[in-house]
Amino acid sequence: MNVLFENAKVLTLDPADSVFDSVSVLVEGGRIAAIGSELRGRAGNDCRIIDASGHLVMPGLVNAHFHSPGNLMRGSLKSSPLEIFMLMEVPPFRAAPLSARINYVCTMIGAIEMLRTGVTAVQDDAFFAPVPTPGGIDGVMQAYADIGIRARVSLDQPNVIEHEKYPYLREILPADIRRRMEAAPLQSDEELEALYRWFIGKWNNAADGRLSVAVSCSAPQRVTPNYLKVLHGLSQEHDLPYYIHTLETKLQRVLGAEKYGKSLIQYLGDSEVLDHRTNLMHCIWVDDADMDLIAEKGSVVAHNPLCNLRLGSGIMPFRQFRNRGVPICLGSDEAISDDAINMWNVAKTAGLVHNITDPEYQNWPDAAEILSCLVGGGARAMLAEGRTGQIAPGLAADLIMLRLDGSAFAPLNDLKRQLIYAENGSSVVMTMVNGRIVFEDGRVTTVDEAALHAEANEIIAENRAVWAAEFESSYELQPYYREMYLRASRQDVGMNRWVGGETYSASTAVGSKKLGDYNRGQPQIQGDSNVA
């Protein structure tokens, strides 16, 4: 169905940054056909007319970094450093992959929340433990196909032994735990390449181009040097984004020095895998040479400020990247490290957290910059510039409509500032992807939300005992990972990305808790009586 929005305030985010107070936007065949006045004559008899008086029409938001498999664990874990957190998120000794249906429901839960709050596109760096399977991948992709969101999806799959991903860990671990890690399932470079080629053949540019594939090494230290380059070859061959987590934590800075004798960014540069397709996730513990190299290669940095705060990873040097012309996009990361999938909250945090890193207030981000990262930066990361992220004739109709009579815009003094600092998603009344209305009148139009939410609770109940046993194996590992973390935290890496000091006393930090009890009792799937 074609759609004509009439009498709308329109924020185009086009190169001229055009804003119109009362115009029409015509959508035909999934694309923006025209912007202007008196377009009803062009609309045709089968066109739906929407009176958008008192509303804003703007491009949809882009969640440029996300992990859908964390959706079912919302609220499960207390804050802890990434290296401890991942023990619970992706248990190293998981015995069997999740079913296609669990992956489907899990993906749906996140996509529903995103559409409700005005996200029209997502980059999902999907992880599968212990290994990805065609059925599990199909579950994720079919969910995105059915719900109607635009999505780029990768397979975030390490293929080295767990203790090889970290500094000091092998020497800290008891021999029996090392042997268990070395016996865990791993896929070879050849197996993973073959799986990617199947994935690309089946799902890249599916659903009229709305679904597409990206490649992911997870992080450079988590894969073999050969596979790191194999993925770059696939990225070049098929023009796909390449997702790489790098220098997210201080420990990763220490790892680079210990394992490679250089930072992980320099290691990626020497491996010749950095280019304009590369999405570098987090990039907190970077130095000037790292940022110069990223700028030289034209790579994108994905900023995840809420996740970085939740896990205590540090504050990314936003202004230093912007001054070098590095494109920045914004991501929520997974629901488990934010406990929401709300890009308005992410944008507000990005607009505020950097204010405490520099007394020179003229260096602080402004609302227009953050909005540009939120929409245009996301389109750039997806390699979709010139196809989405603006309201302009010929581009995909990925649009949202917000009411302007609510508290976020009463009174309306500065549109961009109030979008970034006042809006929380509650003003979104319509979400359109590829010209199809997928959220309207308070409900997602493509799926039965209530049934999916009920099924998610059933999945948790049915798998509680199995997943609790997996958590037990993670508790066993926590003391050793904590020792590794504290040892790395005491190293001088020539920078500080934390607010305050960076030297910690183990006795002060632990207090009266036993090391192995740090997260014990936190995951709700262990049997919290408040969970349905």
- The burial class, CB within 10 Å (0-12 / 13-18 / 19+), for 79 is exposed
- Residue 532 counted as domain residue: no
Assign 3-class secondary structure to 209-229. CCEEECEEEECHHHCCHHHHH
Q: Do 381 and 518 belong to one domain? A: no
Whether 404 and 485 share a structural domain: no
Is residue 72 domain-shared with residue 96, that is, in the same domain?
yes
The answer to whether residues 434 and 294 belong to one domain is yes
In the block, residue with structure tokens 């008192």: 54
- The conformational region for residue 38 under phi > 0 = left, psi -120 to 50 = alpha, else beta, is left
The band of 466, judged by pLDDT with boundaries at 50, 70 and 90, is confident
Lowest-confidence pick of 19-33, 85-99, 102-116, 508-522 = 508-522
Cβ(144)–Cβ(184) under 8 Å? Answer: no
Residues 368, 507, single domain; the answer is no
Task: Answer yes or no: do 454 and 515 share one domain.
Answer: no
Mean pLDDT, rounded, for 503-524: 43
Q: Is 334 inside a domain boundary?
A: yes
Is pLDDT of 144 > 60? yes
Average pLDDT over every residue of 336-345: 93
For residues 496-504, give the mean pLDDT: 73
Indicate the residue among 434, 459, 484 that finishes a domain: 459
Is residue 520's pLDDT more than 70? no
Whether residue 494 sits in one domain with residue 444? no
Range of the domain at 501: 460-526
The reply to whether 62 and 41 lie within a common domain is yes
Mean local confidence (pLDDT), 336-349:
94
Single residue among 407, 427, 459 that ends a domain in this structure:
459
CATH number for the domain harbouring residue 405? 3.20.20.140
Tell me what pLDDT residue 474 has. 85
Report residue 273 as tokens.
């895998």
Average of per-residue pLDDT values in the chain: 93
Residue pLDDT, tens place only, 200-210: 999 999 999 99
pLDDT recorded at residue 505: 46
Is 314 part of any domain?
A: yes
364 and 470: one domain?
A: no
301, part of any domain:
yes
Say if residue 414's pLDDT is above 70.
Answer: yes
Q: Averaged over 251-279, what is the pLDDT?
A: 98
531 assigned to some structural domain: no
3-class secondary structure for 44-56? CCCEEEEECCCEE
pLDDT in tens, 40-89: 989 888 999 999 999 999 999 999 999 999 999 998 888 999 999 999 88
Which residue, of 423, 442, 459, is where some domain finishes?
459
Give the total number of structural domains in the chain. 2
In the structure, what pLDDT confidence band is assigned to residue 17 with cuts at 50, 70 and 90?
Answer: very high
Prediction pTM value: 0.94
* pLDDT at position 398 over 50: yes
In which band, very low, low, confident or very high, does the pLDDT at 146 lie, cut at 50, 70 and 90? very high
Which segment of 81-90, 240-249, 397-406 scores lowest on mean pLDDT?
A: 81-90
